[in-house]
Amino acid sequence: MIVKKDLPACPVATTVGLIGNKWKLLILRDVLGGAKRFGELHKSLEGISQKVLTDNLRSMEEDGLLTRTVFPEVPPRVEYSLSRLGDSMRPIIKNMEEWGLKYKELAAKATQE
């Protein structure tokens, strides 16, 4: 987790630093519906490499947004889910979804005129 002294003074910059790339936002979107395995996330995130997905999952876990649960099975099963802190992002992602839908409607109307 980033320590307070390392955070930018601007709260918007803090948020952007934590979720400011498209993959992190899409990972959050996917785990909003419940825990996901690595393979499920990889399939749903078209165009992401395994390395980039791994790096983003590790970063989000370090920042306290995700929890990683390893099940003692053979083969091992790992699931990623929102932490309490990550779940607090739910309204932000929901607002982004609503805004995106409205934007698509407006763009569709603009092309019809």
Express each pLDDT in 37-49 by its tens digit. Answer: 999 999 999 999 9
Distances (CA, A) of 28 to 64, 82, 92, 95, 111: 12, 8, 10, 13, 31
pLDDT of 111 reads 85
Is the sign of the CA dihedral 27, 33, 36, 39 positive or negative?
Answer: negative
Q: Is residue 2 pLDDT above 60, yes or no?
A: no
What are φ and ψ of residue 7, in 5° steps?
A: -80, 145
pTM assigned to the model: 0.84
Block residue for tokens 């995106």: 100
Do 63 and 1 contact (CB within 8 A), yes or no?
A: yes
Tokens, residue 38: 């690595």
Cα–Cα dist 41/33, whole Å: 12
Q: Is residue 16 pLDDT above 70, yes or no?
A: yes
The structural domains of the chain, ordered by start, are 4-87 (1.10.10.10)
Q: Is residue 1 pLDDT above 70, yes or no?
A: no
pLDDT of 9 reads 82
pLDDT of 83 reads 97
Average pLDDT over residues 83-106: 94
Q: Is residue 113 pLDDT above 80, yes or no?
A: no
pLDDT of 4 reads 63
Question: C-alpha dihedral over 23, 35, 68, 59, to 10 degrees?
Answer: 10
